């Protein structure tokens, strides 16, 4: 079991590079779709995008076990809210990988008797639920950080100074809203790992939302959001101190 988890962790870097390339291709295809002089380039980008997608499915083999092990760890967290959010997220992520692995097996001919569209929708549903639970965790952590900030005497003095130095803001904007936004921004600024994880999950959310028809965007938005979240993923992988914990 440990060997499988170690192997899947090593493949994360390659998967994220493939993912960034895949969504960069998707964004480029959308931007060049009406350029008649770039038809050959678009065709090559479509082929490259498909190759990256297939490669990522191969890298994700075994990630189901990794997600199950992560769910076992998060079930033991002392914070009940964090434990519930992360365990639910990891379970849905494991189900997503099961669907994804089944789709890969069908694409290579190992399995024939499955409905590709149905399994693809189920994968998107599990991915969506996993992201919702991760975002719930992010909101919970942000609210905790904001509460800590407000209890800090030095920060309250800084906030009072901000209000006194910007009287025009208080006149135009609801004072409570201005104070809330100030505390929120200061909390995220002092905890970049939380800010990056929140931004990454928000970007990722557009992908299943579009796939499930909950919020229809377009291939350009999906490509851009996928590329942004992939770059954040690469950044947090190369700089572990920017990765949210737990």
Regions in the chain scoring below 70 on pLDDT: 1-10, 160, 162-175
Long-range contacts, 107-116 (Cβ 8 Å, 24+): 107/54, 107/57
Report the C-alpha gap between 130 and 200 in whole angstroms: 13
pLDDT in tens, 117-143: 999 999 999 999 999 999 999 999 999
What's the chain's Rg over C-alpha atoms?
A: 21
Contact 67, 88 (CB under 8 A): no
Instruction: Give the whole-angstrom CA distance, residue 146 versus residue 159.
Output: 12
Closest CA relative to residue 30, chosen from 44, 48, 18, 42: 42
Residue 131 three-state SS: helix
Centroid of chain to Cα 82: 17
Sorted by where each begins, the domain ranges of the chain are 2-151+191-242
CA distances from 178 to 148, 174, 175 (A): 18, 6, 5
pTM of the entire predicted model: 0.89
For residues 64 and 94, what is the distance between their CA atoms, to the nearest angstrom? 5
**Contact in structure between 23 and 219 (CB atoms under 8 Å):** no
> What does the angle CA 99 – CA 101 – CA 105 come to, to the nearest 5 degrees?
115
Alpha-carbon distance of 123 to 184, in angstroms, equals: 33
How high is the pLDDT of residue 165? 63
pLDDT tens digits for 149-174?
A: 888 877 777 776 766 666 555 454 55
Give the DSSP letter of residue 114.
S
CA distance 137 to 81: 8
Q: Please name the residues in contact with 177: beta carbons below 8 A apart, sequence gap of 6 or more.
A: none
Give the model confidence (pLDDT) of 168-181 as tens digits: 554 545 557 777 88
First to last CA, the chain: 21
Measured between alpha carbons, how far is residue 17 from residues 11, 23, 64, 66 in Å? 10, 10, 20, 20
């Amino acid at each position: 079991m440990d060997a499988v988890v170690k192997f899947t962790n090593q493949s994360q870097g390659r998967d994220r590079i493939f993912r960034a390339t895949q969504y960069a291709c998707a964004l480029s295809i959308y931007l060049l779709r009406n350029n008649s002089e770039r038809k050959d380039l678009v065709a090559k980008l479509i082929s490259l995008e498909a190759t990256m997608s297939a490669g990522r499915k191969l890298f994700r083999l075994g990630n189901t076990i990794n997600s199950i092990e992560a769910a076992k760890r998060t079930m033991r967290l002392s914070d009940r809210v964090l434990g519930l959010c992360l365990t639910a997220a990891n379970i849905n992520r494991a189900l997503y990988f099961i669907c994804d692995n089944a789709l890969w097996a069908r694409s290579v001919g190992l399995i024939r008797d499955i409905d590709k569209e149905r399994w693809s929708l189920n994968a998107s549903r599990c991915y969506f639920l996993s992201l919702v639970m991760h975002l719930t965790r992010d909101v919970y952590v942000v609210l905790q950080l904001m509460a800590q900030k407000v209890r800090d005497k030095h920060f309250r003095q800084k906030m009072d100074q901000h209000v006194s130095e910007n009287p025009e803001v208080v006149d135009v904007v609801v004072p409570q809203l201005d104070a809330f936004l100030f505390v929120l921004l200061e909390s995220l600024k002092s905890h970049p790992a939380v800010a990056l994880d929140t931004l990454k999950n928000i970007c990722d959310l557009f992908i299943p939302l579009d796939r499930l028809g909950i919020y229809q965007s377009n291939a350009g938005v999906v490509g851009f959001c996928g590329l942004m979240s992939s770059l954040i993923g690469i950044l947090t992988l190369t700089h572990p101190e920017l990765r949210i914990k737990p």
